[in-house]
Structure 1
């Protein structure tokens, strides 16, 4: 594989915390410590519009698959649902008074999962945009959620470094194990394994049924903020507080590409907070504390 930097997009005035693919193939969204969610155009390598204003920092974005609805999680514990085609707010749900840090979509159940500072899992029915079930998972902050339909599992990671797995059907616990010595900050299911990244700079590969660690390694110098499986190819990306993003083989965890400032002048120069693949896997979008968005083109 080969990865090249297609463009660097300025415009945000503050650190960017999250990024999500667009409803249209050539667009994507970003949010952070600014007062709005921004839509970008890949074809023109430019700012497209401010999708909507927000009243506090945006910590997570999730496009509801098969719909033009974008879910926006805010520091004030609120979830906004915006129709991106009509540029219209369709619902606003106050889940908590504390920050919502993570969102995951279960399209087969038409439900959205949300979790954050309170350690509570919220299940939102997307036909009514309301929470239909709440379950306290952790005594502390939850930073990451991942779901896998084939395995029928939800994984959550908390500030104590514990990872929890639940059954997708009834949200009953399967396992909870301390996998990290510091906060668990990222999760992803890859090849029937659960990958978890932490502030301890470890990437732990586990059996999701028992959460027994198969092995772990150090992919970055600092916190692993995101793990992103490619939509089609057996590769995944990681992003980190060490200012780098890296691309790995999902088969043997070999490092394929290291996009850091040490390796290339045009890399991010502050913490890389999040990333996302385009729907077709041609592009990877990364966002950073440096207030810049980077578009990476992937050649497989």
Structure 2
């Protein structure tokens, strides 16, 4: 690796999936435990310390579209193409709850910490809210006439943003699930959403655009970060950086204050990166972890300047 690339180091490549990987999550209680899922019929557990396969956490009946580690617990929420939502205890590999949406895939799962609630989106445009105490269904409410692929809860916990297949962003109160506002932002489906620490909103779409919005959903900045769909946005608040990943096989890192590009991580730039679409990623403990259609997991160590 040349000197230009010295602030990003590939720690390891994890292989073993037989099909594209769509989603990943780091354990809420162990930063060295990673879970991945995709078009295989199982969720895989990896050891990030030894960079090795640990076990098949559980078998599933259909493709895994979303994984979410429930904070302050050993529970992993697994959203399936079938509309099934499994809650698995990752320590003893037991099924804690087997939940279901009425129709289609579960693309996104989040929690509302203050209310101790779990929220997920079914393919038919309805949101489902369960109690984290007993996983009883508390609410079901309609967001959109079409598929909603992404949910994000603000850092304050007061707001929830949703993005749908028609390019609309929806902003809701987390307290009573009342809609505050909605606006068409993207020309094509919304595929990623991220709040920053000031509750500004960043959205990415299949139109290959990245928008910075205020809480009235007015556009503050617009860039074209990738050649194709923006599949993920993640924040490094400590260094005030934003990262994006895309179907164009690249990872890009931006200054939060002005969306200036500071790093392009791709095979074209000399990195041993993915050679097919990057479908999802997380930024945790100074590591970027990416998953791809090429069936591999890449673990990157960052030493980027503030």
Say yes or no: TM over 0.5: yes
Per the TM alignment, residue 232 of structure 1 is displaced from its structure 2 partner at its CA by 3.3
Per the TM alignment, residue 109 of structure 1 is displaced from its structure 2 partner at its CA by 1.2
Structure 2 stretches lacking a partner, 5+ long? 1-5
1:109-160, CA deviations, whole angstroms, 9 ceiling, x for partnerless residues?
1111101311111111111113210111100000111011426110000000
Paired positions, count:
297
What TM-score do you get using the length of structure 1 for normalisation?
0.96
Q: Is the 8 A contact 2:170 2:181 kept in 1?
A: yes
Correspondence for 2:201 among 179, 194, 197: 194
Structure 1 stretches of 4+ moved >3 Å: none
Structure 1 stretches lacking a partner, 5+ long? none
- Matching residue of 2:23: 18
- Matching residue of 1:257: 263
1:238-266, CA deviations, whole angstroms, 9 ceiling, x for partnerless residues?
11000111112212212121111111241
1:71-103, CA deviations, whole angstroms, 9 ceiling, x for partnerless residues?
000001010001111111111011223111111
Correspondence for 1:268 among 270, 274, 282: 274
Distance 1:151 1:47, change over 3 A: closer
Q: 2-side partners of 1:60 and 1:21: how far apart?
A: 13
What TM-score do you get using the length of structure 2 for normalisation?
0.94
SS of the counterpart of 1:225? strand
- Matching residue of 1:86: 92
Q: Is the 8 A contact 1:21 1:277 kept in 2?
A: no
- Matching residue of 2:43: 37
- Matching residue of 1:126: 132
* 1:156 matched to 2:158: no
Correspondence for 1:291 among 286, 289, 295: 295
Correspondence for 2:254 among 243, 248, 251: 248
- Matching residue of 2:3: none
* 1:234 matched to 2:240: yes
Correspondence for 1:107 among 103, 108, 113: 113
Distance 1:164 1:243, change over 3 A: same
Q: 2-side partners of 1:228 and 1:265: how far apart?
A: 20
Correspondence for 1:6 among 5, 11, 30: 11
Q: Is the 8 A contact 2:155 2:199 kept in 1?
A: no
Q: Is the 8 A contact 1:95 1:131 kept in 2?
A: no
Q: Is the 8 A contact 2:66 2:107 kept in 1?
A: yes
SS of the counterpart of 2:267? coil
Q: Let me know the Cα RMSD of the aligned residues.
A: 1.3
* 1:56 matched to 2:70: no
Q: 2-side partners of 1:215 and 1:24: how far apart?
A: 36
